[in-house]
A and B are shown apart, each in its own frame.
Chain A
């Protein structure tokens, strides 16, 4: 059988994930006056990262563009952990 990868990011339940650049991370942490570790987490073994949908490593911050019921669109961030 033909092995065709199912792109997880295209599933309707999965919002858009993208890795944040260093400067953007610094800006984010400064806006909320927090440390990286205070962000919500995403595991390195998470399918979105593991199946190479996005390229991320431990310590990276992933920006998630959520569809929000109340705001329409919302940004959220997760720190990649082991």
Chain B
């Protein structure tokens, strides 16, 4: 696919070149051929379309002819000029919008002037080299953190789903915990399911785990050495489960298991070779634990109508991997997330985990009415996912892996760290901040990072 697009792109280039040839006569065509033909076309189709827009082409030719930047400024001119500025995407979009609004009043000089001023301002706003961004990030999250309530749990909407929020949640995230206190998934649905309450609720029941013990009374009978199930019709209906499904699931338990429908609507489960009471009670336990429907580990599922009118499922318990593998119809997996970052890393990869850390932290802070700049949180997420796996910020993660002995010892478990370092004969290069503070040297940060040399 990609190769074909590239090939087509090449054809397009050639076609354009032919047009240009006709238009510009011989003198510059030779030059263009030399410039363009050796181009190895390994760019993606997307980049190709960016590179070879009509405007870009017209511009290049106009430039060669030396008749650029005259007369009226067109939409395309603004587009092209801004694209070449090297500014971040977001600023470009804003700038284009604003420039296009005043296009008729612009002159070429003014346009250039505005652009260079914007670029200069942008350069000024960049972080200085050697600035201690990590400390700034830590303080920026730490200070508002003091205003957070220590123990805040919260309801998710109408239902009784508890979610850890506030400071405990932030700690959970930066500690990269694998076991959360309140794991939950947000399952988005495909269109036809998301718009109808009934369908969303039916799906909710399909995802929620249902064991035999949830839908019937279980009795072990010593008389005929069998387990008797009296199904609760109301529960079956509520959970959209048919009698036949239960029977089929029970038969799955093994070839030596026999399921009979008795006259009074009860199911009798008999297993061959059951002699003792002990064996019978084991069968009873196995039966009651049998999963009839849903995903193991999803304790509850609630369908909730979002402000946009879309029904979304919220769960107690998170099993992203099982949800992905089971492929339940109606679930829009592409928009489904969990608050368990370890699961996201496992199922969707490190980049998704990084995004999830940022989302979760910003949401937690915002929910508490705190506004922390996204850049600080992005930095933390970057540091945590640097090595291709989610690492905690702490003794067993980033702080514990520092190269410097003194720095590690200053952080936590001082004696252990020093002893360990002594045993291995480690050296300390005194390059970091902590080590240099300990030995009383200027730290290599900000102005401390610059050394002056007098003379030549």
Contacts and interface: CB of A to CB of B under 8 A. Distances in A.
Verify that A and B bind, or say they do not. yes
Interface size class of B (residues with CB under 8 A): 20 to 34
Interface in B304-353: 324, 327, 333-335, 337, 344, 346-352
Nearest to B377: A69
B398 to A, nearest CB: 13
A34 interface: no
A64 B367 CA distance: 30
A11 B334 contact: yes
Contacts, number: 94
Interface string A2-45: 00101010111111011001000000000000000000111100
B352 A40 contact: no
Interface string A67-79: 0111111100010
B374 A72 contact: no
A14 B324 CA distance: 15
A71 B90 contact: yes
Contacts of B349: 8, 14, 42, 46-49
B378 interface: yes
Interface core residue of A1, A8, A81 (most chain B CB under 10 Å): A8
A66 B327 CA distance: 27
B388 A78 contact: yes
Interface core residue of B351, B356, B358, B389 (most chain A CB under 10 Å): B351
B58 to A, nearest CB: 25
A74 to B, nearest CB: 7
A73 to B, nearest CB: 4
A78 B255 CA distance: 51
Contact of B89 (A43, A64, A72): A72
A6 B388 contact: no
Nearest to A12: B335
Interface string B349-381: 111100110100000000000000011001000
Contacts of A41: 386-388
B88 A8 contact: no
Interface string B379-422: 00010011111000000000000000000000000000000000
Nearest to A69: B374
Interface in B46-95: 88-93
A73 B89 contact: yes
B88 A47 contact: no
A71 B337 CA distance: 24
A64 B351 contact: yes
A60 B402 CA distance: 26
Nearest to B42: A21
Contacts of B350: 42-43, 46, 78
B44 interface: yes
A48 B327 contact: no
A47 B355 CA distance: 15
Contact of A11 (B88, B91, B348, B378): B348
Contacts of A10: 334
B333 A15 contact: no
Contacts of A12: 334-335, 337
Interface string B205-240: 000000000000000000000000000000000000
Given A46-B349, A47-B346, A64-B351, A70 B386 contact: no
B388 A42 contact: yes
A6 B331 CA distance: 12
Contacts of B89: 68, 71-74
B305 to A, nearest CB: 21
A81 to B, nearest CB: 6
B229 to A, nearest CB: 26
Contact of B356 (A4, A6, A13, A73): A13
A13 B188 CA distance: 13
A40 to B, nearest CB: 5
B352 A74 contact: no
A6 B375 CA distance: 32
A2 to B, nearest CB: 8
List 5 tightest A-B contacts by C-beta distance, closest first.
A72-B89, A72-B90, A71-B88, A41-B388, A13-B352
7 contacts: A13-B348, A42-B350, A46-B350, A46-B388, A64-B351, A72-B91, A78-B350
